[in-house]
């Protein structure tokens, strides 16, 4: 069994890890351990002195060494409840103005299979793969129940966490915070890694030592954001890609979030993660419950690389869904950087025809095909074909593209609206806007109120009609602004602070209906590129446009940070034109393709402007990726360098059976009169022998692991390399 209970101690075991907690003599649930298996109950570590100014609960009597301000409480309450002054996981307010939660153990249950969460995405697993533990804590005075949910996926070394709060009393309870995860780490010298950024430079990995006090990574922008990502790593000092202990947590949520880590007065670390309380409040009437989103938790004593591979596997196999979850993706050509808004059907047909001749599978029509849409200042929300651009409509264009042997895809941005649009003129009350105040614009657009069921129903029918009426096999679902000035015309005043979370619930319900009705369509998420690249969106969209920045050099940094939690199959990545439209940098077609292949591959340029030699190179890239895609998407991913510190970006994909490997990378700045660089491999069989396809040379696996591959001599900045290795038998040496 993955879950067992002995003498009030809960043991949650995976193949390589152990999570322990205990109900103490006063009914408080205390965290004991999360880490490698110990074959021992770890409560002997609870050796606490009397710490000055740390209060003692009433039940403890004269035991001054017993304080919730120092103990590793499994799910601590806020507002200084019972003397715990550290960052809390939950807080509430009552009709009498008080806000204390005294949470005591009430009961538990264990079930086969993995719990689900109403209205929210979550990891799924059958009875043969997972078990669920539910622990109920009760605040007797207010009759508020807190249900802690733990999903244990034994073979995948994953534990999921979620919470729901139920008001069992007779008066309303106002939730002010309901985090999904709390993890106490009483011992260790910790560093943390978060993933900051901005539009066109998302998920930049930053690792730093914990300092005393609270460090925070959060978003209040309505989405998970370009600026921070809802994922975090805690590493012991000295932890590397291949050795050392680390813990990772990723929130399965696409709205405002908060991750806080406090290093307290005793050098203990506490991590909490969940919905951002600065844009959250929820009133529970008698008998009502609130369900928090899920957090995915994993730890590894074999370094950060193994931790990442665990996250890749569970997200790809137990969170992503649908036809394209594990199957190969079409290679696409998108017209955005080729044409922007300036196109007609002839221009699109020319791009598609050339793409078809080069072996590309799909033509994607981006922004500008609908309404009065010649710039980003008008037409958004009017999902009617602009026949001044596309004479004969979508069906005629799709028929021609299908006739070229290509699939057809389309861009949509359903969540936003232009003020200069028929939709806004008809329903100005449908936008997020504070009464009697001027709205804040971003990209010249406003946001539709997805907390309003009438808006959701309209969008379901409007988007559904496009997908029903036309032979569309791919949708790029975009969202090009952050959300502020929260206010819904559909909610009463006392419920307005519920709106940010209700928006996310509305979005999820809309996506559930559409992806369920159109299972043949490949949906790709986008939010100005990577502004909503999170595990919540991957439940509905198996891939996400990684960044609007398609510069090959910058993309190595963006994709490096992305790889710590998210599978490579989820990374939408394209070869675009040079000079690059975001940076002006010029890189070779070879380098652009090597970087874009570390994801779900495509092109975003006018292929007709390439030379004949470049077109032949594109054709070869397309065929190469089709051969490599199975290995890239389902193989084990290894970061072979840190591009934020090293003079190169390098990565590898190794098949589960270790019989093949693809090694790729980019050498950054060229230098004169130097030795060639080398790169040590990871993940291959040390007892095997491997032939390199590019030059036919044979190496032992141990030589490649210890000595590495010699990289090509660098001629110019940002030059790429690719090696495909295949294991050979002894008679082939």
Instruction: Cite the active site residues.
Output: 534, 614
* CA–CA dist 271, 181 (Å, integer): 8
CA distances from 321 to 172, 218, 679 (A): 38, 27, 36
- For tokens 């930053």, the residue is 206
- For tokens 């938790």, the residue is 297
Q: Record the tokens describing residue 90, joined without a space.
A: 């939950």
Give the residue from 663, 729, 658 showing the smallest Cα distance to 694: 663
* CA–CA dist 303, 322 (Å, integer): 32
* CA–CA dist 341, 344 (Å, integer): 9
Cβ atoms of residues 569 and 329 within 8 Å: yes
Q: Record the tokens describing residue 15, joined without a space.
A: 């193949």
* CA–CA dist 77, 51 (Å, integer): 20
Q: How many CA atoms lie within 13 A of 470 on its CB side?
A: 28
Cβ atoms of residues 122 and 253 within 8 Å: no
- CB neighbour list of residue 552: distance below 8 Å, 6 or more residues apart: 580, 585, 587, 591, 592, 594, 595, 596, 666, 718, 720
SS3 9: strand
Cα distance from N-terminal residue to C-terminal residue, the chain = 46
SS3 683: coil
Burial class (CB in 10 A: 0-12, 13-18, 19+), 283: middle
* CA–CA dist 501, 276 (Å, integer): 10
Residues forming beta bridges with residue 522, ordered by sequence position: 474
Give the residue from 618, 613, 590 showing the smallest Cα distance to 603: 618
SS (H, E, C) 445-480: EEEECCCCHHHHHHHHHHHHHHHHHCCCCEEEECCC
Residues forming beta bridges with residue 274, ordered by sequence position: 258
Cis before 591? omega within 30: no
* CA–CA dist 476, 8 (Å, integer): 50
- CB neighbour list of residue 461: distance below 8 Å, 6 or more residues apart: none
SS3 79: coil
Give the residue from 176, 279, 183, 182 showing the smallest Cα distance to 225: 279
* CA–CA dist 335, 363 (Å, integer): 8
Give the residue from 633, 558, 552 showing the smallest Cα distance to 587: 552
Residues forming beta bridges with residue 407, ordered by sequence position: 362
Neighbour count for residue 428 (Cβ, 10 Å):
14
- For tokens 């805690």, the residue is 234
For residue 438, give the DSSP letter. P
Q: Record the tokens describing residue 286, joined without a space.
A: 């008698």
Provide φ and ψ at 92, rounded to 5°: -150, 165
């Amino acid at each position: 069994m993955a879950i067992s209970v002995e003498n009030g101690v809960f043991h949650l075991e995976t193949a390589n890890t152990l999570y322990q907690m205990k109900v103490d003599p006063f009914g408080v649930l205390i965290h004991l351990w999360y880490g490698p298996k110990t074959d021992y109950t770890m409560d002997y570590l609870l050796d606490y002195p009397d710490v000055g100014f740390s209060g003692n609960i009433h039940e403890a009597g004269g035991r001054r060494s017993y304080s919730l301000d120092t103990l590793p409480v499994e799910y601590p309450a806020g507002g200084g409840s019972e003397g715990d002054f550290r960052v809390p996981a939950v807080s509430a307010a009552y009709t009498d103005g008080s806000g204390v939660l005294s949470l005591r153990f009430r009961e538990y249950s264990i079930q086969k299979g993995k719990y689900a969460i109403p209205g929210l995405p979550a990891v799924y697993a059958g009875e043969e793969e997972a078990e669920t533990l539910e622990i109920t804590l009760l605040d007797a005075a207010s009759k508020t129940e807190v249900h802690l949910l733990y999903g244990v996926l034994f073979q995948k070394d994953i534990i999921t966490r979620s919470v729901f709060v139920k008001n069992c009393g007779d008066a309303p309870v106002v939730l002010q915070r309901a985090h999904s995860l709390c993890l106490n780490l009483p011992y260790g010298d910790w560093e943390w890694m978060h993933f900051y950024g901005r539009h066109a430079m998302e998920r930049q990995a930053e690792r730093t030592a914990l300092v005393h006090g609270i460090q925070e990574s959060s978003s209040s922008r309505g989405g998970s954001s370009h600026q921070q990502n809802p994922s975090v790593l805690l590493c012991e000092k000295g932890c590397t890609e291949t050795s050392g202990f680390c813990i990772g947590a990723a929130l399965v949520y696409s709205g405002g979030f908060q991750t806080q880590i406090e290093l307290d007065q005793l050098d203990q670390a506490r991590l909490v993660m969940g919905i951002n309380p600065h844009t959250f409040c929820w009133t529970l009437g008698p008998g009502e419950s609130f369900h928090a989103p899920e957090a995915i938790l994993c730890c590894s004593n074999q370094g950060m690389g193994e931790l990442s591979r665990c996250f890749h596997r569970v997200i790809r196999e137990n969170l992503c869904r649908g036809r394209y979850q594990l199957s190969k993706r079409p290679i696409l050509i998108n017209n955005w950087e080729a044409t922007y808004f300036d196109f007609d059907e002839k221009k699109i047909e020319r791009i598609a025809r050339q793409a078809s001749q080069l072996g590309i599978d799909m033509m994607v029509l981006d922004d500008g095909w609908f309404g009065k849409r010649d710039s980003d200042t008008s037409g958004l929300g009017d999902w009617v074909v602009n026949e001044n651009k596309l004479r004969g409509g979508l069906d005629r264009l799709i028929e021609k593209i299908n006739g070229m042997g290509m699939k057809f895809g389309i861009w949509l941005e359903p969540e936003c609206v232009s003020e200069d649009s028929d939709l806004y003129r008809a329903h100005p009350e449908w936008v997020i806007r504070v009464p009697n105040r001027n709205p804040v614009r971003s990209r010249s657009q406003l946001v539709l109120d997805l907390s309003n069921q009438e808006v959701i129903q309209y969008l379901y029918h409007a988007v559904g009609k496009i997908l029903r009426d036309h032979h569309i096999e791919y949708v790029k679902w975009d969202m090009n602004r952050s959300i502020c000035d929260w206010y819904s015309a559909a909610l009463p005043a006392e419920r307005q602070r519920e709106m940010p979370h209700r928006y996310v619930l509305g979005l999820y319900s809309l996506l559930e209906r559409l992806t369920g009705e159109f299972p043949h369509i490949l949906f790709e998420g986008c939010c100005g590129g990577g502004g909503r690249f999170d595990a919540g969106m991957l439940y509905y969209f198996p891939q996400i446009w990684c960044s609007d920045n398609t510069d090959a050099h910058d993309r190595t940094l963006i994709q490096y940070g992305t790889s710590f939690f998210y599978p490579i199959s989820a990374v939408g990545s394209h070869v675009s034109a040079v000079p690059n439209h975001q940076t002006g940098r010029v890189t070779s077609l070879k380098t652009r393709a090597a970087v874009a292949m570390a994801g779900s591959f495509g092109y975003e340029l006018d292929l007709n402007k390439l030379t004949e030699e470049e077109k032949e190179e594109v054709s070869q890239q397309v065929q190469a990726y089709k051969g490599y895609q199975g290995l890239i998407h389902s193989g084990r991913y290894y970061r072979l360098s840190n591009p934020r510190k090293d003079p190169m970006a390098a990565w590898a994909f190794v098949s589960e059976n270790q019989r093949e490997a693809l090694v790729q990378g980019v050498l950054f700045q060229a230098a004169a009169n130097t030795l060639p660089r080398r790169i040590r491999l990871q993940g291959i069989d040390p007892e095997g022998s491997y032939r390199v396809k590019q030059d036919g040379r044979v190496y032992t696996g141990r030589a490649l692991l210890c000595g590495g591959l010699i990289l090509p001599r660098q001629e110019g900045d940002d030059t790429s390399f690719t090696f495909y290795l295949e294991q050979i038998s002894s008679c082939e040496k």
